[in-house]
């Protein structure tokens, strides 16, 4: 099982690295959708092999909500404006993003070994940590609100993967609540992002929001 | 006693929300007022009933206090909104949606303080983000929408940290049921300590605790006055309620010290930032942050300081909601959020002006308001368990915050202006804040009852 987890984790990291280097929003959303399907497939495998019906149900929810519904909703919100279709001015240049995102993977490994490893005793534990940090980096390195949202959901995916693998017995009602909240956040965020477009494409000139 | 009785305040607010969907003139306002006032009565009745510990609900004295507090501020906010909404020129949505979201927001907060499960508390706190985000953008301008976005993204990322903390806590205890953890106890190991610290940071994000506080001044500054009031008065306190519950089960000195340091840093940073504020709503937002820092210090120390933290939460909720209502009155008249643009409030708007001065004194911990007693109990706790230097440091920065807020409010209220024509009459918009300021004072007479609720769970 740990080998499958390591393989899935490695694949997830590759997908997130692709997101870091990509500038087209639609492609990033599609990549996120693929990453969610991978997490769902892993949970399905876990649920079937360990005979845990809750985990199977969770994998179906993950596939439907994160793999299909959220990417579909986000793509629907995207209209063909230049500033929305691709990241025109990322906070950090693409070249620098590549270097930093690779360094993050190394940093996550070192951080995990010196902090959590002694308690968790799980060799692959640095994978979710790397994914969490990559998600956070995606949020701070981009101005495009949709990509920031993908960064947030990447962090959530990392947690689902981690928790599904280590603690598959977490009460189902809580998992369902988390997913429902995620749908709510995405729906509200979709509305807000739409309004941001109607108002302005430049979010720097807000004097009152400083200090 | 049947479990549904303890859920009445929560159910009433949900029913109020659903009824707001009916399309009838003024119906949403009437329904929301009835729902919120009914929830006040329901929550008040709970104070005299025994505790309820079930699979789904955990309603003890602390929960009851929070339920009553949420319902009172919710009711005053709904009543104040009926006049304030008229001043919003280009609202984002129809009035009924505003009240629908307001009722749902109150529902999610009441749900959070009644449930018996850390996972569901997380769901409740995240639900407050979902239900309140659009309320922030009600005024429908560029900066309010930007503030809403910052709120969604910063708070959601913060809550990811608390979700991770839930996983860690579950990994050690094998359950997320608060009552079970409290009764059975479990071995405290490093992973639980890390989980508890993550919970403090994660939920602390929602409570405006340093260093994840950045959304707070933006949202309080840009949201309409009633929304700022409900955020500042109770939302942040509800987030700290979850922190208090975490500290209750992970009663470890290292975790408590961590909470103490975060609280201390929050007070210091907020007090320093208050000095340079030019917009009055942002100034009050930093004042909220400072108060939440003090509450976290109180929760981290426990005992008398815990009682102090609860007293501070209650009186701050009343006083700060009053301050934000009044700032809404000022904004509707002066059309500016800059302190320098607001002159002679006491002459142009005497009810608002004098009330603002009293409320500002209340939020900065001036006697005889409840905030003073709360802060005094917390500082007593600091003196007892920490070197005197820390108490001195806290008092110094509280004084800095006191001077910053009251000097700036003083210049707004008592300065001279060419246009001093009185343009204010007594109406709902001036009476509601007045009632809340009086409640912030009256809290001091109910400290024995608060203590009884916290220790015995009900008032006999």
pLDDT tens by residue, B34-46: 999 999 999 999 9
Task: Provide the pLDDT confidence category of residue B438 given band limits of 50, 70 and 90.
Answer: very high
Average pLDDT rounded to a whole number, residues B448-452: 93
Helix axes A172-199, A70-77, angle to 10 degrees: 10
Closest C-alpha among B173, B159, B174, B167 to residue B195: B167
Q: What is the pLDDT of residue A202?
A: 47
Task: Provide the pLDDT confidence category of residue B454 given band limits of 50, 70 and 90.
Answer: very high
For residues B323 and A169, the model is more confident at B323
Task: Provide the pLDDT confidence category of residue A83 given band limits of 50, 70 and 90.
Answer: low
Domain that holds residue A81: 2-199
Domain that holds residue B402: 3-456
Task: Provide the pLDDT confidence category of residue A211 given band limits of 50, 70 and 90.
Answer: low
Q: What is the pLDDT of residue A164?
A: 75
Decide if B110 contacts B13 (C-beta within 8 A).
yes
Residue A121: which residues within 8 A CB-CB, separation 6 or more?
A: none
Report the phi/psi class of residue B252: left, alpha or beta, with left for phi > 0 and alpha for psi in -120 to 50: beta
The pLDDT mean for chain A works out to 80
Chain A CB contacts of B189 under 8 Å are 119
CB contact under 8 A, A211 and B129: no
Residue A184 belongs to a domain: yes
Q: What is the pLDDT of residue A80?
A: 54
Chain B CB contacts of A149 under 8 Å are 153
CB contact under 8 A, A208 and B122: no
Residue B326, pLDDT > 70, answer yes
DSSP B51: P
The answer to whether A132 contacts chain B (CB < 8 Å) is yes
Dist CA B156 CA B151 (whole Å):
8
Q: What is the pLDDT of residue B369?
A: 94
Query: Which pLDDT tens digit goes with each residue over B284-293?
Result: 999 999 999 9
Chain B CB contacts of A132 under 8 Å are 160, 164
- Per the structure, the count of domains in chain A is 1
CB contact under 8 A, B194 and A132: no
CB contact under 8 A, A139 and B153: yes
Tokens representing A42? 């892993």
Distances (CA, A) of B47 to A9, B452, B453: 51, 10, 8
The pLDDT mean for chain B works out to 91
Decide if A47 contacts A53 (C-beta within 8 A).
yes
Task: Provide the pLDDT confidence category of residue A201 given band limits of 50, 70 and 90.
Answer: very low
Decide if B132 contacts B125 (C-beta within 8 A).
no
Query: Which of A188, A205, A207 is the best mutation test for B, with the most CBs of B within 10 A?
Result: A188
Q: What is the pLDDT of residue A105?
A: 87
Average pLDDT rounded to a whole number, residues B15-26: 90
Query: Which of B91, B116, B164 is the best mutation test for A, with the most CBs of A within 10 A?
Result: B164
For residues B48 and A163, the model is more confident at B48
How close is the nearest chain B Cα to the Cα of A77, in Å?
16
Closest C-alpha among A60, A51, A48, A158 to residue A112: A158
For residues B427 and A151, the model is more confident at A151
Average pLDDT rounded to a whole number, residues A168-176: 68
The closest CB to that of A211, out of B129, B277, B337, belongs to B277
Residue A128 belongs to a domain: yes
Q: What is the pLDDT of residue B283?
A: 94
Q: What is the pLDDT of residue B244?
A: 96
Residue A190 belongs to a domain: yes
Residue B174, pLDDT > 60, answer yes
How close is the nearest chain A Cα to the Cα of B287, in Å?
14
Taking chain B, what is the end-to-end CA distance rounded to the nearest angstrom?
Answer: 16
Query: Which pLDDT tens digit goes with each residue over A41-61?
Result: 988 988 898 888 888 888 898
CB contact under 8 A, B119 and A177: yes
- Per the structure, the count of domains in chain B is 1
Residue A157, pLDDT > 90, answer no
Question: What percent of chain B is predicted at pLDDT more than 70?
Answer: 98
Chain B from 272 to 291: CB within 8 A of any A CB: 273, 276-279, 282
Residue A123, pLDDT > 70, answer yes
Residue A207 belongs to a domain: no
Tokens representing B422? 């009185």
Task: Provide the pLDDT confidence category of residue B139 given band limits of 50, 70 and 90.
Answer: confident
Average pLDDT rounded to a whole number, residues B106-118: 95
Chain A from 89 to 108: CB within 8 A of any B CB: none
Give backbone dihedrals phi and psi of B57, rounded to 5 degrees, phi first: -110, 145
Looking at this predicted complex, what is its ipTM?
A: 0.83
Residue A77 belongs to a domain: yes
How close is the nearest chain B Cα to the Cα of A168, in Å?
10
Residue A205, pLDDT > 60, answer no
């Amino acid at each position: 099982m740990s080998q499958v987890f390591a393989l899935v984790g490695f694949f997830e990291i590759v997908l997130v690295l692709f997101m870091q280097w990509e500038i087209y929003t639609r492609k990033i959303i599609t990549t996120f959708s693929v990453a969610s399907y991978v997490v769902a497939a892993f949970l399905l495998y876990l649920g079937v092999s360990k005979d845990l019906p809750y985990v199977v149900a969770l994998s179906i929810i993950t596939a439907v909500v994160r793999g299909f519904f959220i990417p579909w909703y986000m793509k629907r919100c995207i209209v063909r404006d230049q500033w929305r279709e691709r990241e025109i001015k990322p906070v950090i240049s693409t070249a620098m993003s590549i270097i930093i995102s690779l360094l993050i993977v190394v940093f996550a490994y070192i951080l995990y070994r010196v902090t959590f490893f002694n308690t968790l005793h799980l060799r692959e534990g640095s994978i979710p940590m790397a994914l969490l940090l990559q998600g956070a980096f995606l949020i701070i390195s981009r101005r495009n609100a949709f990509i920031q949202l993908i960064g947030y959901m990447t962090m959530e995916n990392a947690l689902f993967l981690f928790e599904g693998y280590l603690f598959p017995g977490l009460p189902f009602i809580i998992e369902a609540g988390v997913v429902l909240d995620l749908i709510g956040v995405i729906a509200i965020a979709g509305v807000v992002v739409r309004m941001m477009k109607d108002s302005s494409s430049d979010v720097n000139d807000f004097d009152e929001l400083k200090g | 006693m049947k479990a549904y009785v303890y859920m009445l305040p929560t159910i009433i607010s949900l029913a109020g929300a659903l009824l707001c969907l009916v399309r009838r003139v003024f119906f949403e306002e009437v329904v929301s007022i009835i729902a919120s006032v009914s929830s006040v009565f329901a929550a008040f009745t709970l104070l005299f009933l025994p505790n309820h510990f079930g699979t789904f609900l955990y309603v003890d004295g602390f929960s009851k206090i929070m339920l009553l507090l949420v319902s009172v501020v919710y009711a005053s906010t709904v009543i104040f909104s009926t006049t304030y909404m008229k001043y919003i020129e280009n609202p984002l949505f129809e009035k009924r949606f505003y009240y629908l979201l307001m009722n749902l927001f109150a529902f999610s907060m009441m749900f959070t303080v009644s449930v018996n499960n850390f996972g569901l508390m997380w769901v409740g706190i995240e639900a407050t983000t979902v239900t309140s985000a659009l309320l922030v953008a009600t005024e429908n301008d560029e900066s309010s929408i930007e503030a809403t976005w910052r709120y969604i993204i910063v708070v959601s990322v913060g809550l990811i940290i608390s979700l991770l903390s839930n996983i860690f806590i579950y990994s050690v205890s094998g359950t997320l049921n608060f009552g079970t953890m409290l009764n059975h106890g479990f071995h405290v190991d490093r992973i639980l300590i890390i989980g508890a610290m993550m919970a403090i940071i994660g939920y602390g994000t929602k409570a405006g605790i340093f260093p994840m506080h950045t959304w707070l001044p933006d949202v309080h500054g840009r949201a309409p006055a009633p929304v700022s009031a409900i955020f500042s008065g109770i939302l942040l306190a509800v987030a700290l309620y979850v922190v208090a519950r975490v500290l209750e089960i992970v009663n470890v000195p290292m975790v408590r010290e961590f909470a103490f340091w975060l609280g201390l840093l929050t007070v210091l940073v907020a007090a320093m930032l208050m000095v340079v504020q030019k917009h009055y709503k942002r100034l009050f937002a930093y004042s909220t942050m400072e108060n939440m820092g003090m509450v976290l210090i109180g929760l981290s120390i426990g005992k008398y300081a815990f009682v102090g933290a609860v007293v501070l939460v209650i009186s701050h909720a009343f006083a700060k909601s009053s301050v934000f209502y009044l700032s809404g009155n000022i904004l509707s008249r002066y059309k500016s959020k800059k302190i320098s643009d607001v002159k002679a409030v006491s002459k142009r708007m005497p009810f608002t002006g004098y009330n603002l001065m009293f409320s500002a004194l209340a939020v900065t911990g001036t006697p005889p308001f409840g905030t003073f007693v709360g802060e005094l109990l917390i500082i007593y706790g600091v003196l007892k368990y920490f070197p005197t230097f820390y108490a001195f440091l806290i008092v110094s920065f509280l004084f800095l915050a006191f001077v910053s807020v009251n000097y700036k409010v003083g210049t707004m209220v008592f300065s001279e202006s060419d246009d001093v024509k009185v343009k204010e009459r007594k109406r709902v918009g001036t009476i509601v804040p007045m009632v809340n300021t009086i409640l912030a004072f009256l809290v001091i007479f109910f400290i024995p009852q608060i203590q009884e609720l916290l220790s015995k769970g009900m008032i006999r």
